[in-house]
Amino acid sequence: MVQTSVGIKCADDAGVRTGAARVARSAQRFGVEGQGALLTKILIGINVAVYILMLATGGGTLGSPGGEIFDKGALIGIGIQNGQLVGVAQGEWWRLVTSMFLHASILHLAFNMVALYWLGSIVEQTIGTMRFLLVYFASGLAGSAGALLLTEPFVPTVGASGAIFGIMGALLVLEYRATGSFAGPALGLIAVSLAMTFITPNISIGGHLGGLAGGILATFALSHFSGARARSIGPALVGLIAVASLVLAYVRVESYVL
């Protein structure tokens, strides 16, 4: 029920959007319509294909990583492979992106892909494919920067978790835009996921925190503007988030030398 100037009415009679209609209105603020979850499925396909290729080329087993694909693509600040120095500190900047599509085991892959399907489908259909792509990669880069910042330089990091935490951050912003409150399911999901991050061994805390921050900032940037500005200023700000992640990563790897 809603209080109006002529008394209490139900939401429909008062013309107040609730439930799905309210969320749909929030999506309209982005200037886009739902376009299905095609990109989410493509990203899942790429991750699975990379893992199969890693195994097919002699890259470890179902329960452990390894091989040339893993060695060339895993995120590592600095390390030694075949007697040579490797890593981001050696100019191998592609590792910030390729590590987002590598996984340490079949369980690692399965867990991340289920999360990506459930959460990514919601966000992509709400904000549209292109904006989802921007959020995903900005979050992934922010996660890679966070992993470099809080992980020992010689420890490899892999996984789509940074981007997935970014999707959680996007859900938090979307929920706030739709309801005016942060006290909802998205916040609970983030709280539980962060708790697991801190209590589970061999988890990239920096990757998860960085991805979450990147997703929140990117989605806020895309949702803050409307009309023509939403198509120009929003993506430009997301680009700045990606650049800031690269700068943070650069500062971090430079500290290895110093």
Predicted confidence (pLDDT) per residue in 84-143, tens digit = 899 999 999 999 999 999 999 999 999 999 999 999 999 999 999 999 999 999 999 999
Q: Is the pLDDT of residue 2 over 50?
A: no
DSSP state of 79: E
Q: Which residue has the higher pLDDT, 22 or 57?
A: 57
E strand or H helix at 81: strand 79-81
Tokens representing residue 68 in the block: 């040339």
Q: Is the pLDDT of residue 155 over 90?
A: yes
Give residue 118's identity as a one-letter amino acid code. W
CB 139 within 8 A of CB 42: no
pLDDT of residue 82: 82
Q: Could you give the 3-state DSSP secondary structure of residue 104?
A: coil
pLDDT of residue 10: 55
Q: Is the pLDDT of residue 257 over 60?
A: yes
Q: How confident is the model at residue 24 (pLDDT cuts 50, 70, 90)?
A: very low
| Beta-carbon contacts of residue 244 (< 8 Å; ≥ 6 apart) | none
pLDDT one-digit tens code per residue, 183-203: 889 999 999 999 999 999 989
pLDDT of residue 258: 59
Lowest mean pLDDT segment, chosen from 110-114, 127-131, 158-162, 228-232: 228-232
Q: How confident is the model at residue 159 (pLDDT cuts 50, 70, 90)?
A: very high
Question: What length is written for the chain?
Answer: 258
Q: What is the mean pLDDT of the chain?
A: 87
Domain residue ranges in the chain: 35-253
How many CB atoms within 10 Å of residue 189? 15
pLDDT of residue 33: 45
Which residue, among 133, 147, 97, has the nearest Cα to 248 in the 3D structure?
147
Tokens representing residue 150 in the block: 């809080």
Tokens representing residue 115 in the block: 């999360």
pLDDT of residue 58: 81
pTM for this predicted structure: 0.84
**Once rounded to an integer, what is the mean pLDDT over residues 214-243?**
89
CATH topology of domain 35-253: Rhomboid-like fold (1.20.1540)
Rounded to whole angstroms, the Cα distance separating 123 from 44 reads: 15
pLDDT of residue 208: 98
pLDDT of residue 7: 47
| Residues with catalytic roles | 161, 208
Q: Is the pLDDT of residue 35 over 70?
A: no
